[in-house]
Structure 1
Amino acid sequence: MAELLALYLVMINAATVTAFALDKRAAARGGWRTPERRLLVLAALGGSPGALAARALFRHKTRKAGFSAWLWGIAVAHAVLAAWLAYRALR
């Protein structure tokens, strides 16, 4: 079970980084953009580490206060969930 979860997290984070990269590329070229909601859904589905890394790596969506607030809220929720799961596993 842990192996499947790890594989899922690798895949969702890779998809999230890819989505951010494609959106950054489209923004630079004036092309079709990925909706912010889709980027946030990818983050909420487990891709928050990838989303935060992609933001820093590509310097993308860093000035959008609303987007940042949602993304950080998702990341904090994931951290709390991970801490709770670790606590439960160690009991």
Structure 2
Amino acid sequence: MTDPVYFLFPLVYIALNAVSFALYGMDKYKARKEKWRISEQSLLIAAFFGPIGAWLGMVQFRHKTQKPLFRYSVPAFIGVHLLLVLWINLV
């Protein structure tokens, strides 16, 4: 019998990345309209849990690409996620 976590985890991970992507798009929209913005801390937290969506949002919306904190931390978060996946598969 297969554990439900193996089916649930990919769905949750996709949802986290989709939320992260959407947050970067919303913040770019708000920046253009000069409205109340999403904080950088919130964007970085979203990037920590959904780094692929954050990176895609940065590329797609051309948002936060000039800030070194985002330019280096989002790819680092992707690397951490890849290392975790490799570690889990080896254990």
Could you say whether these structures have the same fold, taking a TM-score greater than 0.5 normalized by the shorter chain as the test? yes
Q: Match for 2:31: what amino acid?
A: A
Show the counterpart of 1:74: 77
Gapped regions of structure 1 (runs ≥ 5) = none
The equivalences for 1:10-89 within 5 A come to 10-45=14-49, 47-88=50-91
Q: Percent identity?
A: 30
Larger proportion of helix: 1
What is the CA distance between 1:79 and its match in structure 2? Answer: 1.3
Q: Match for 2:74: what amino acid?
A: L
Task: Please say if residues 54 and 60 of structure 1, whose CA atoms lie closer than 8 Å, have aligned partners that are also in contact.
Answer: yes
Gapped regions of structure 2 (runs ≥ 5) = none
Aligned length: 87
| Deviations, residues 22-56 of structure 1 (Å, cap 9, x unaligned) | 000001111111111111111212x0010011111
Aligned structure 1 segments of 4 or more residues deviating by more than 4 angstroms: none
Task: Please say if residues 20 and 51 of structure 1, whose CA atoms lie closer than 8 Å, have aligned partners that are also in contact.
Answer: yes
Distance 1:86 1:53 in 2: 25
What is the CA distance between 1:74 and its match in structure 2? Answer: 1.5
TM-score by length of 1: 0.88
What is the CA distance between 1:60 and its match in structure 2? Answer: 0.6
Distance 1:65 1:58 in 2: 17
